[in-house]
């Protein structure tokens, strides 16, 4: 069943239509013994009934008056998933192939097997699409296929010099898999750290990077201090590399985009191959490509984003996927900034996926070099700490906060009708592919592609530092350090604009890897069953985790301001079936016992929320920066606040509790575990107190979690 913005409902009738027709006739002609029309409840609310159109099935993406001769690459979503037998899959595949034959010869149809839908990539004419609801009744939805445009590389200033030596990462360090246009495996800064490379493009053997974008992203993903390493003659690599070629070619400006690709299927294959090449090392997957999302404002999810969510869910084990949020339209007039960035178009797919780390762009680069000035570059557009002129933003909607974080994406200096993004002081140093015969090993880059690669590098550093922790915890540790620059807060005084532009802010990698004496960081990894059944009734549970803040010591500095921060991270199981009550099987939320709440009062407050789903959590906690109902929409929930030290003195309970999803309605979901990670920190700033040792000692005897009584 699909519900459009104007209230129309599109549904598939799987049984004989005669039963529905008979009820409609009885409603019109027969009364019950009480004098009411028969079948009043199911029929009376239907104002009009008609066969679905292609516009209905596509949620408005494809108009009903599409011209007969127009040809579109579309995804036909049919019944599918593990519940269908192999014979049922083959029958539906054959029907879709027969439909595709109405437009032209069919040599093979790419299919992505989702959780409950099979998604077939088909080139279809307007005439066949208008007839599709009648001739292919297995169809649940139809959507325009993603169109990934070729990467157009701007010319940039070359940086020359003697190659530096390369110090590879430690043997067990994390691998960053760069899913892009391949890599220059002979590059002297790539070859010492390249674990493997492969192509998943049909008919393309090898992963040679003929355009250079993949090599650029590999440089940012592997080296966090490239400029310093080049200057000092020794490059330290933060991660090993695997390079996967997903793109056929970069082409020239104005070239044809890559069409006819089932990006969901290709991405799944690339992830599987990359992990086989990485061996037993952990992998961070970087995807610095994307496509416009025609589902924005409707269902938001696409086959590509569903595939990304399924990959990151990974049967509950978690997997790290980092995705670029996408690039804004070119800004040549300074007066258009940041209004063009606020969209549309909004975030590219698959960046809307719940489980991926979606990365937008900001810029700290606002100083032109002497060479930039001599070349006549105008003044930089963004001030340090503001939104990058290259970055897209999310739509304001009742959906998870996206992007999750922002990283350096470069600045511009528009003038003379040009964007001018390539000034040395406004762009990012990275590696140049030598495939074209260039003598330079380096070049400049910009936009959200390198921002995503930088986030992958940061996650790799965190994961290498804490190899025993889970992917959900690695993600939480990085996002836990994210803050909004002062310039960003001034640029977007409306918090809705701030969140959809910056997400949770700019992470600080060095803080994500360690605690300090006056900044203890506490990590808890747990799991709960959101929809456990007992005796035919739901037995909903919450976890209560005791946080032992030292009481006497914090009271002693009672009026000093301290920063309290909490981050919850988990991966949710998605569905591609829009008839489910929710997109994910189950969600989680967190809350912290407030300064004036008793432990029993806090448990009672959370108990009511858990057992009476839909009840607001109420107040009683701290003055967090983000409203609870806003931060709790996604699988990454981070917040922080500044309070007096006395307000957190003594042990506090932190609750992690479920918000029901489609697991509640599915028998297979009743006993599923939802793993999660919680990170809590308190930062005393300039106060000289070894609170880390006090908290560490107090944590030892605590047993967690505490289950809610039934």
Residues 185 and 75 in one domain: no
The answer, yes or no, to whether residue 469 has pLDDT greater than 70, is: yes
* Distance from chain centroid for Cα 452: 11
| DSSP character at residue 497 | H
Residue 156 lies in a domain: no
* Interval 449-469 mean pLDDT: 98
What's residue 246's pLDDT?
93
| Residue at a domain's end among 510, 526, 543 | 510
> pLDDT tens digits, residue range 334-366?
999 999 999 888 999 999 999 999 999 999 999
Q: What span, in angstroms and rounded, lies between the C-alpha atoms of 42 and 44?
A: 6
108 assigned to some structural domain: yes
pTM to 2 decimal places: 0.91
Number of domains in the chain: 3
CATH number at residue 375: 3.40.50.200
User: Rounded CA gap, 416 and 333, in Å?
Assistant: 9
Within-domain flag for 180: yes
Task: Note whether residue 181 is domain-resident.
Answer: yes
Same domain flag for 384 and 299: yes
Do residues 251 and 194 both lie within one domain? yes
Question: Does 27 score more than 60 pLDDT?
Answer: no
Residues 535 and 493 placed together within one structural domain of the fold = no
Residue 577's domain comprises 515-707
Average pLDDT over residues 389-402: 90
Structure tokens at 506: 């700019």
Measured between alpha carbons, how far is residue 444 from residues 158, 252, 677 in Å?
A: 8, 18, 37
Residue 203's pLDDT band (boundaries 50, 70, 90)? confident
Predicted pLDDT of residue 40: 60
The per-residue b/e assignment along 177-193, b for 16 or more CB within 10 angstroms, e otherwise, is: bbbbbbbbbebebbeeb
Question: How would residue 158 be classed by pLDDT, with cut points 50, 70 and 90?
Answer: very low
- How large a percentage of the chain has pLDDT more than 70? 85
Q: Is there a domain that residue 446 lies in?
A: yes
Q: Is-contact 51 238, C-beta < 8 A? A: no
d(CA 210, CA 605): 60
Among 144, 175, 205, give the residue marking a domain's end: 144
Helices (H), 391-481: 448-465, 471-480
Average pLDDT over residues 457-472: 97
The reported pLDDT for the residue numbered 709 is 47
pLDDT in tens, 647-662: 999 999 999 999 888 8
Q: Where is average pLDDT lowest: 224-233, 328-337, 372-381, 611-620?
A: 611-620
Three-state SS for 560-606 is CEEEEEEEEEECCCECCCCCCCCCECEEEEEEECCCCCCHHHHHHHH
Is there a single domain that holds both residue 566 and residue 498? no
Whether 155 maps to a domain, the answer reads: no
Could you tell me how far CA 633 lies from the centroid of its own chain? 13
Q: By the 8 A CB rule, do 603 and 653 touch? A: yes
Q: What is the pLDDT of residue 157?
A: 44
Residue 172, in any domain of the structure: yes
Q: Do 173 and 109 have their domain in common?
A: no
578: domain CATH number is 2.60.120.380
pLDDT for the residue numbered 439:
72
Average pLDDT of the chain is 88
Same domain for 239 and 226 = yes
Are 436 and 574 in a shared domain? no
Tell me: do 245 and 394 sit in the same domain. Answer: yes
- Mean pLDDT across the stretch 153-174? 76
Strand pairing of 521-528 and 674-683? antiparallel
Report in angstroms the alpha-carbon separations of 468 from 168, 172, 300, 572: 21, 12, 35, 21
Q: What is the pLDDT of residues 116-147, one digit of tens each?
A: 999 999 999 999 999 999 999 999 999 999 98
Half-sphere exposure of 433 (CA within 13 A, CB side): 21
State both tokens at 673: 């575990």
Can you give the pLDDT at residue 701? 47
For residues 219 and 236, give the distance between their C-alpha atoms in angstroms, rounded to a whole number.
Answer: 12
- The 10s digit of each residue's pLDDT in 552-579 is 999 999 889 999 999 999 999 999 998 8
- Determine the pLDDT at residue 628: 93
Residues of the chain with pLDDT > 90, as a percent, come to 69
Q: Is the CB of residue 586 less than 8 Å from the CB of residue 669?
A: yes
Q: How confident is the model at residue 155 (pLDDT cuts 50, 70, 90)?
A: very low
Query: In terms of pLDDT, which residue wins out, 294 or 279?
Result: 279
pLDDT at residue 386, as a whole number: 99
How high is the pLDDT of residue 156? 47
226, two tokens: 């490239």
Nearest-CA neighbor of 308 among 246, 353, 265? 353
Based on the domain organization, do 104 and 212 belong to the same domain?
A: no
87 & 201 share domain: no
94-108, 523-537, 557-571, range with the lowest pLDDT:
523-537
The helix (H) or strand (E) run that includes residue 95 is helix 86-100
Query: Is 151 part of any domain?
Result: no
Q: Are 59 and 175 contained in the same domain?
A: no
Among residues 510, 538, 562, which one ends one of the domains? Answer: 510
């Amino acid at each position: 069943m699909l519900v459009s913005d104007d209230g129309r409902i599109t549904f598939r009738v799987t049984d004989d239509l005669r039963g529905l027709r008979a009820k409609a006739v009885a409603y019109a002609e027969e009364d019950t013994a009480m004098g009411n029309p028969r079948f009043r409840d199911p029929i009376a609310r239907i104002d009009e009934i008609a066969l679905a159109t292609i516009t209905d099935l596509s949620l408005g993406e494809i108009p009903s008056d599409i011209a007969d001769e127009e040809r579109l690459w579309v995804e036909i979503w049919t019944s599918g998933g593990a519940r269908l037998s192999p014979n049922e899959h083959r029958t539906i595949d054959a029907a879709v192939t027969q439909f595709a034959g109405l437009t032209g010869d069919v040599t093979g149809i790419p299919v992505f097997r989702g959780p409950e839908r099979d998604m077939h990539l088909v080139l279809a004419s307007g005439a066949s699409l208008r007839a599709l609801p009648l001739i292919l009744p297995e169809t649940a939805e139809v959507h325009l296929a993603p169109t990934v445009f070729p990467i157009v590389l701007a010319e940039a200033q070359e940086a020359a010099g003697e190659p530096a030596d390369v110090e590879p990462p430690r043997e067990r360090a994390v691998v960053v898999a760069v899913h892009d246009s391949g890599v220059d495996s002979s590059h002297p800064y790539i070859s010492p750290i390249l674990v493997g490379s492969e192509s998943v493009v049909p008919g393309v053997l090898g992963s040679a990077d003929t355009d250079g974008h993949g090599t650029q992203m590999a440089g940012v993903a592997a080296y966090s201090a490239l400029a310093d390493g080049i200057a000092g003659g020794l490059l330290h690599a933060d991660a090993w590399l695997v390079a996967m070629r997903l793109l056929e070619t970069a082409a020239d400006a104005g070239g044809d985009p890559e069409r006819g690709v089932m990006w969901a299927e290709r991405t799944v294959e690339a992830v599987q191959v990359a992990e086989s090449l990485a061996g037993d090392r952990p992998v961070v997957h970087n995807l610095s490509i994307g496509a416009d999302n025609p589902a924005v404002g409707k269902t938001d999810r696409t086959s590509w984003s569903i595939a990304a969510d399924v990959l990151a869910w990974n049967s509950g084990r978690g997997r790290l996927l980092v995705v670029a949020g996408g690039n804004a339209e070119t800004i040549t007039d300074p007066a258009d900034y940041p209004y063009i960035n606020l969209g549309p178009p909004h975030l590219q797919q698959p960046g809307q996926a719940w489980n991926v780390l979606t990365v937008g762009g900001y810029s700290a680069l606002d100083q032109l070099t002497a060479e930039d000035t001599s070349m006549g570059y105008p003044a930089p557009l963004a001030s340090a700490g503001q939104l990058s002129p290259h970055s897209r933003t999310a739509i304001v909607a009742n959906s998870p906060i996206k992007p999750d974080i922002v990283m350096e994406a470069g600045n511009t200096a528009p003038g003379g009708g040009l964007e001018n993004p390539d000034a040395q002081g406004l762009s990012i140093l990275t590696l140049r592919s030598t495939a074209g015969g260039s003598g330079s090993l380096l070049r400049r880059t910009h936009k959200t592609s390198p921002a995503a690669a930088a986030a992958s590098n940061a996650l790799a550093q965190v994961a290498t530092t804490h190899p025993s922790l889970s992917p959900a915890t690695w993600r939480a540790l990085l996002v836990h350090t994210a803050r909004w620059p002062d310039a960003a807060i001034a640029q977007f005084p409306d918090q809705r604009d701030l969140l959809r532009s910056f997400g949770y802010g700019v992470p600080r990698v060095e803080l994500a890897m360690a605690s300090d004496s006056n900044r203890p960081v506490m990590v808890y990894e747990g799991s709960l069953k959101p929809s456990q059944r007992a005796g035919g009734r739901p037995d909903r549970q919450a976890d209560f985790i005791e946080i032992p803040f030292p009481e006497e010591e914090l009271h002693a500095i009672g009026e000093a301001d301290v920063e309290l921060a909490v981050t919850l991270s988990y991966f949710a199981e998605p569905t591609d079936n829009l008839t489910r009550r929710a997109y994910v099987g189950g969600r989680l939320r967190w809350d912290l016992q407030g300064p004036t709440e008793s432990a029993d009062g806090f448990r009672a407050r959370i108990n009511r929320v858990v057992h009476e789903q839909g009840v607001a959590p109420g107040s009683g906690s701290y003055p967090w920066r983000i409203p609870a109902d806003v931060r709790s929409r996604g699988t990454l929930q981070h917040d922080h606040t500044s309070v007096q030290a006395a307000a957190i003195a003594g042990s506090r309970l932190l609750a992690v509790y479920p918000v029901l999803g489609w697991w509640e309605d599915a028998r297979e979901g009743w006993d599923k575990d939802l793993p999660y990670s919680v990170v809590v920190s308190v930062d005393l700033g300039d106060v000289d107190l070894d609170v880390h040792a006090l908290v560490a000692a107090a944590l030892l005897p605590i047993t967690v979690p505490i289950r809610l009584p039934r």
